[in-house]
Structure 1
Amino acid sequence: MNKNLLALLGLAPILSPLNAMANDRPDPRPNIIFFLVDDMGWQDTSLPFWTQKTMYNERYETPNMERLARQGMMFTQAYASSISSPTRCSLMTGANAARHRVTNWTLQKDKTTDAQSDVLQLPDWNYNGIAQVEGTNHTFVAKSFVQFLKDSGYHTIHCGKAHWGAIDTPGENPCHFGFETNIAGHAAGGLATYLSELSYGHDDKGNPTSLMSVPGLEHYWKTGTFITEALTQEALKALDKAKAYNQPFYLYMSHYAIHIPIDKDVRFFDKYKKKGMSDKEAAYASLIEGMDKSLGDIMDWLEKNGEADNTIILFCGDNGGYATGKEWRDEPLYTQNAPLTCGKGSAYEGGIREPMIVSWPGVTKPNTRCDKYVIIEDYYPTILEMAGITDWKVPQTVDGVSFVPLLKQTGDPSEGRSLYWNCPNLWGEQGPGIGATCTVRQGKWKLIYFYETGKKELYDIPADISEQHNLAQQHPEVVKALSANLGEFLRSSGAQRPSFKKTGKPCPWPDEIE
């Protein structure tokens, strides 16, 4: 790569003496690995993201998350949507869920996944997901950051869960978003089973037994290989090929773990049983540690192959941990993410706050913490900036803000900023904060508005992380200001809202009701 092209891409600021590959290939830009975990709660780790260790931090063993944190920066207030598809579509497009309108989980073409309500008529949302091409209804059209990476010279690898578009739509195929390699990614957001004994959801003739059957891993059927390990082995093979290509790579390592069904990973299950845990909780813990081993295996590969000093690793969850079903967990409902309230699907912190770590050798200070808030759509401009891609134009509005200044400790893009959520849908399970809601976070304050009842809840998050003290009556002026802020954003972004079945009238926006 010549100096003029380096200047065009804006690479000069990101190059450092630690970039070992600068001597080995024409393009010295860093490799990038995005390690995304499905349904991982903020507390599902031995690494404490709160100000103190909790019982869950003591329970689980995630030594490689700890290892990554020692190398980089932990983010203690990282946010996503409360459900998978909205998060993943925001990641790929940089747009807030209110704007892209993929506000519930996607699966079958032209079919909503909303639960039914006797009171609310739910909006006609984008249940076909996202795509880079026009022509499919109920779809948000956008250009992915992965396409920019590929077009600028990155070798792009997808491994694991995709969940961006419904079956038989362009969005179901990761290769339609700029990935050159796709390992086991398709339309479904879950999996039939983690077990190779069941061929990851295929019968003896090789036919899928479910829409959730995971494709493309036939080599591992009947071998006793847990799917987390199979995906990891395939990712390592892809990295071996990428190294031979002599160009920077982007690996999207997107595990199906820790999504239900909570199958036990026998490599770690007995360890947790010996700690006195029930079968269900030991199985859940084994999924967490299996995911962590995958992270460690990839970090080991980087070190062994001389890539560690020139590889950025971003680690994050896609929504809160599962906390609403007795079938898979034994402890009291809605408590599994404590001190956060509830979990997946909820507007409370348990549904939207994520474990997040970033390691950027030569840029992030080792073993540091950042308490500023960021949200999932921020990865879009951040990753492009990391890759030195500064001149990009897209058809969609990008709501995300680069957090590179936080990594470099040169600025605070969260200052004065508001974060927004809109979920005008019904996920299907019950629990605190689960339902048709919209939410705003500004500074220490968080306002949740419930469409059906018109109720507003106000919390001082730093002082009340468990959201146990609704301060709406004590601070009506804050409620009014945040309601106006939220209402303005929802209208300006083209957000949807439910209507009342009885009258046919739309539910009021938060600033249209006291």
Structure 2
Amino acid sequence: MRLALFFAIFLHFPAYSAGKPNLVFFFVDDMGWQDTSVPFHRETTDLNQDYRTPHMEKLAADGIKFTQAYACAICSPSRVSLMTGMNAARHRVTCWTLRKNVSPEGNHPKFRSQNWNLNGLQPTGAGVERSFEAETLPGLLRKAGYRTIHAGKAHFGAKDTPGADPSNLGFDVNIAGSYMGGPGSYHGDRNFSAEWRGGGKIWDIPGLEKYHGQKINLTEAITRESIAAVEQAVADEKPFYLYLSHYAVHAPFEPDRRFIGNYADKDWPKHKKVYASMLESMDRSLGDIRATLKRLGVADQTIIVFMSDNGSPRNNPRNLPLRGHKITGWEGGTRVPLLVHWPQVTKPGTTTDTPVIIEDIFPTFLEMTGTPTPENDGMSFTEVLRNPSTDRSRRPLFWHSPNHYDQPPYSAVRLGDMKLIHWPAKRTVELYDLSSDLGETHDIASKNPERTQFLAKLLTDYLRDETHALMPIDRETGKPVPYPSEILSH
């Protein structure tokens, strides 16, 4: 069956691609699970009715929707997992990065973090302290003959390190990517800089100077440059990987002037109107990219994957019924939208409840392109794309956030519908049945001691023995906090 599928795709593609599909990974920053008119819950929510994302609706109608897709709860860890296929417990870039050798964490009275990799992802051989070196997804695809295009937010490596430049991490083309996790401004007439509000130049977006002084939104400018790069790849008869990683819908919250008028008559707070315009701006970019693929005659040979890097931040409308928000260990921090259209493979308008996590993108793309896959923590989900009812309930998913930035540290494991969260600061574990309690409101650990013990050991074994994960240090004892199973044994 797979051999027949390969030859069918091979014959359909132009000769230059040698059977290799183009890839578009459309990555949105800080977009919550329900921040769209596409319902990812079993029911349509209020936010689904409020927001306008018609191009997401079209992509969902053309492909497959994942209702239980996950990322890390914060940006840099998700991006490093995507690039390397490694879980955050292993790569140890467990919080966001910016300045070299500087942590964004403040001082916690009871805990301190160990030497996590605050300088982020670096190319192999870079020798940068406190960083993770690995061969990256775009680097592997480039070796396989792809034109690799980075557009938008990078946020892989800290300022003044090689990993701050996507060109050092496997990308042939870098559009607007650097060390920062957010833009100074979304407005071209503010030069995409924070100087207008006294924020200095550290947030300045590089490489888009030709748009300075213009009344253009950053999302549109990045889209235009992405389209030009795709046009060049097609003209050069090169299969391409477009990593279109928008700064939107991350702060600062500034309206896209093209769409803010659509919400003028809504009885909403100003922030929600601005945010809605940013979502619609992002969605227009998706439509523009798909229209470009069609115009260039490569739509039928291009795989499109749409995803967000973490949940919505706390100042946005709550992504009910999920609990929590960006950075938290609850579903609101980690559950994200995911859509996939693989021409001739995915069936239009299908839905899957099979859980997947962001490090799974790495082996999935490599398998899709026939590229040799190095050892990693991910699990390709091409089988799910062909058969949405694929059962992976025996495959555990892990999260690890040992930092104390804004939220308390936590670790978690999900197996089947059961999710256990370890809270080191409280010396507790909690257990939730997501099939009946998606909002994580009823801790059932005390009523299910055997299941709790089993999952606590599974998480402990993964953190202690499999990944040798860093744990927060208790200031009073000077030792790492207890693992989940150690808490239960006392």
Report TM bin, short chain: over 0.9
Work out the CA distance in 2 between the residues paired with 1:47 and 1:181: 32
The Cα of 1:57 is off from its aligned counterpart by 0.1
Note the 1:133-282 alignment, pairs <5 A: 133-134=124-125, 135-201=127-193, 209-282=200-273
For this pair of structures, how many residues does the alignment match? 484
In structure 2, the residue matched to 1:308 is 299
* Partners of 1:405 and 1:411 within 8 A in 2: no
Judged with a 3 Å threshold, the aligned counterparts in structure 2 of structure 1 residues 410 and 40 are, in CA distance, closer, same or farther, namely closer
Q: CA offsets, 1:49-75, max 9 Å, x none? A: 000100000000100001001111000
Residue from 50, 55, 65 that aligns with 2:46:
55
Which secondary structure state, in structure 2, belongs to the residue aligned with residue 86 of structure 1?
A: helix
Q: CA offsets, 1:419-446, max 9 Å, x none? A: 0001000122xxxxx3110000000100
Q: Which one-letter code corresponds to 1:424 in the other structure?
A: P
In structure 2, the residue matched to 1:446 is 419
Note the 1:302-381 alignment, pairs <5 A: 302-323=293-314, 325=315, 329=316, 336-381=318-363
Q: Which one-letter code corresponds to 1:505 in the other structure?
A: K
Work out the CA distance in 2 between the residues paired with 1:392 and 1:401: 11
TM-score normalised according to structure 1 size: 0.91
Work out the CA distance in 2 between the residues paired with 1:405 and 1:252: 23
* Partners of 1:19 and 1:310 within 8 A in 2: no
Work out the CA distance in 2 between the residues paired with 1:250 and 1:441: 31
Q: CA offsets, 1:359-388, max 9 Å, x none? A: 000001111001000000000100000111
Work out the CA distance in 2 between the residues paired with 1:149 and 1:371: 29
* Partners of 1:18 and 1:361 within 8 A in 2: no
Work out the CA distance in 1 between the residues paired with 2:408 and 2:376: 26
* Partners of 1:273 and 1:279 within 8 A in 2: no
RMSD: 1.8
Residue from 470, 478, 482 that aligns with 1:496:
470
Percent pairwise identity: 43
Work out the CA distance in 2 between the residues paired with 1:124 and 1:11: 47
* Partners of 1:101 and 1:125 within 8 A in 2: yes
The Cα of 1:17 is off from its aligned counterpart by 5.2
The Cα of 1:276 is off from its aligned counterpart by 2.1
Work out the CA distance in 2 between the residues paired with 1:184 and 1:111: 23
TM-score normalised according to structure 2 size: 0.96
Work out the CA distance in 1 between the residues paired with 2:43 and 2:304: 25
Q: CA offsets, 1:440-497, max 9 Å, x none? A: 0000100001011111111000111111111111111111100000000001201010
Q: Which one-letter code corresponds to 1:369 in the other structure?
A: T
The gaps in structure 2 that reach 5 residues or longer are none
Residue from 398, 402, 406 that aligns with 2:376:
398
Work out the CA distance in 2 between the residues paired with 1:273 and 1:279: 9
Work out the CA distance in 1 between the residues paired with 2:268 and 2:11: 45
Work out the CA distance in 1 between the residues paired with 2:413 and 2:11: 40
Work out the CA distance in 2 between the residues paired with 1:455 and 1:115: 23
Say if 2:483 is the partner of 1:509. Answer: yes
Which secondary structure state, in structure 1, belongs to the residue aligned with residue 13 of structure 2?
A: helix
Work out the CA distance in 2 between the residues paired with 1:77 and 1:486: 20
Q: Which one-letter code corresponds to 1:294 in the other structure?
A: S
The gaps in structure 1 that reach 5 residues or longer are 1-9, 429-433
Say if 2:429 is the partner of 1:456. Answer: yes
* Partners of 1:196 and 1:220 within 8 A in 2: yes
The Cα of 1:279 is off from its aligned counterpart by 1.4
* Partners of 1:158 and 1:181 within 8 A in 2: yes
The Cα of 1:272 is off from its aligned counterpart by 1.3
Which secondary structure state, in structure 2, belongs to the residue aligned with residue 316 of structure 1?
A: strand
Say if 2:73 is the partner of 1:82. Answer: yes
Say if 2:449 is the partner of 1:476. Answer: yes
Q: CA offsets, 1:177-235, max 9 Å, x none? A: 1110000000011111111111000769xx99332111111111111000000000111
272-281 vs 310-319, which moves further: 272-281
* Partners of 1:405 and 1:413 within 8 A in 2: no
The Cα of 1:11 is off from its aligned counterpart by 8.3
Work out the CA distance in 1 between the residues paired with 2:453 and 2:273: 46
